Amino acid sequence: MNKLTVAKFGGTSVADFSAMSRCADIICHDQSIRVVAVSAQSGITNILVRLTQADVSDAERLDLFKQIRDKEQAILSDLNNPESIQVALEHLLVSLEKTANEADIATSERLKDRLLSFGEQMSSLMFAEVLRQRDVHAVNFDIRQIMKTDSAFGHAEPNIELIKQQAQTSMMPELAGSVVVTQGFIGSNDQGETTTLGRGGSDYSAALIAEALEADVLQIWTDVIGIFTTDPRLTQAARPIPEISFDEAAEMATFGAKILHPATLIPAMRRDIRVFVGSSRAPNEGGTWVVNKAKTKPAYRAIALRKDQILLTVKSPQMLHATGFLAKVFGILAEHKISVDLVTTSEISIAVTLDNPSNTTTKAISDAALTALKAFCDVKVEDNLSLVAVIGNHLESSLRENQLWKALEKVNVRMICQGASPHNLCFLTPTAAAPSVVEQLHNALFD
Ligand code: ASP
Ligand code: MG
């Protein structure tokens, strides 16, 4: 069988007609790309999130509607206003506005996901037409037919088996004669209601599709030429990494390298699908290959920074040598679906970090979870913290290496985790200091 590539284009790659045209060039040059998953145009999901917030005035709401309409109309007019697309777009815009105007938009997670889904829906509608106008036989495929999830609106969990079945029966046959254009980020539950996989989830969607179709390659097209040793905005010394292992890249994604959604590599690892990350603005400048076994295994590969961290410390008042405290605390966190990243413990207390991004519709820790914890222990919540992760190989034995500790000498470290994974050493530091900490570390480790 011919090689099959699933390509995902992020928000900046499909930001407007000319950006979409660059993506179309990439597709036209690579016959193996049969499935294309797109994000919403950049900025659109943020506008939709804003529309879900309780303090939006009527005037602001109208202005936000206009911003969305203007963006979409501009693309439509560059496409010379094909009537069928115009009608389909109008239909989406009317439903979008109707959803945003619902009385309980600020409180219903179900409605929020329905609203957020319009960004991707509009984007795939337009993008399929861009391809068609280049004589590519493109179909706009509603991914909700196959991306089956649970009902955890805002951060829905995909049902891998069901997705596979559905993809094989309803998407696979389309691939024979068409390029299938579809939406990242969105899915549907058993009742057919729209769900989303969480902010930045389009990468994950594309990986799930690649897995379900047993693709050979997953391409993630974004606005940077691959994965860098650290965020280039933090230091000019950052440089692209040509090849990296799944393990290292997964740690990077988990610990804040914005370039990939943290879950993206899991489906790719399950089926050993090679992942390419590149820039749709500069497709010829190369990018990063994420593979099962990388040719090199340097001690220090990259430094990731993740802002908006909460440190939750729970302390048991009574329990020297008592058992079950950890189990109880993690039981409550699990019950409330709270995902923790770093963990440190002492005899009577546990500290965990929680990701608390400002651009989502969900909270890092719900009041209900806090109440449940407070019922049997003291709880302290600290914020304005950032997580810095040094990613590499054999880091469980880096204690012997002076270089790293020297670099950390003057850093205000609030918490540190080392030893569980050979691929990372992580610490928390105040957010205000974090960018310069990363720059210093990069100088010390990557010179
Ligand atoms: N549009 C969604 C977001 O902005 C999903 C994505 O782009 O990956 O989070
Ligand atoms: Mg993204």
Q: Which of 39, 182, 204 to mutate to test the pocket of ligand 1 (most atoms within 8 A of CB)?
A: 39
Longest distance between any two alpha carbons in the chain, whole Å: 73
- The fold of 301-446 is VC0802-like (3.30.2130)
Å from CA of 446 to ligand 2 middle: 26
Å from CA of 107 to ligand 1 middle: 21
* Per-domain residue ranges of the chain: 5-223, 301-446
pLDDT of residue 369: 93
| DSSP state letters, 155-207 | SPPB-HHHHHHHIIIIIHHHHTTSEEEEESSEEE-TT--EEE--TTTHHHHHH
Within 287-394, strands assigned E span: 287-291, 300-315, 340-345, 349-355, 378-392
Residues 269, 293: Cα–Cα separation, whole Å: 11
Residues 327, 336: Cα–Cα separation, whole Å: 14
Angle, helix 58-78 to helix 83-100, in steps of 10 degrees: 170
| DSSP state letters, 360-390 | SSS-SS-HHHHHHHHTTSEEEEEEEEEEEEE
Q: Which of 45, 195, 209 to mutate to test the pocket of ligand 1 (most atoms within 8 A of CB)?
A: 45
Residues 340, 373: Cα–Cα separation, whole Å: 15
Separation of CA 81 from chain center: 33
Q: Which CATH number fits domain 5-223: 3.40.1160.10, 3.20.20.140, 2.40.30.30, 3.40.50.2300?
A: 3.40.1160.10
pLDDT of residue 421: 87
pLDDT of residue 364: 80
List residues bridging with 9 in a β-sheet.
Answer: 38, 221
Å from CA of 431 to ligand 2 middle: 22
pLDDT in tens, the chain (447 residues): 589 999 999 999 999 999 999 999 999 999 999 999 999 999 999 999 999 999 999 999 999 999 999 999 999 999 999 999 999 999 999 999 999 999 999 999 999 999 999 999 999 999 999 999 999 999 999 999 999 999 999 999 999 999 999 999 999 999 999 999 999 999 999 999 999 999 999 999 999 999 999 999 999 999 999 999 999 889 999 999 999 999 999 988 888 777 888 899 999 999 999 999 999 999 999 999 999 999 999 989 999 999 999 999 999 876 555 678 888 899 999 999 888 989 999 888 999 999 888 777 777 888 999 999 999 899 999 999 999 999 999 887 755 667 788 888 888 999 999 888 899 999 999 999 999 999 999 999 987
Nearest CA to ligand 1 atom 8: 200
pLDDT of residue 447: 77
pLDDT of residue 319: 58
Å from CA of 83 to ligand 2 middle: 31
Residues 224, 279: Cα–Cα separation, whole Å: 5
pLDDT of residue 1: 59
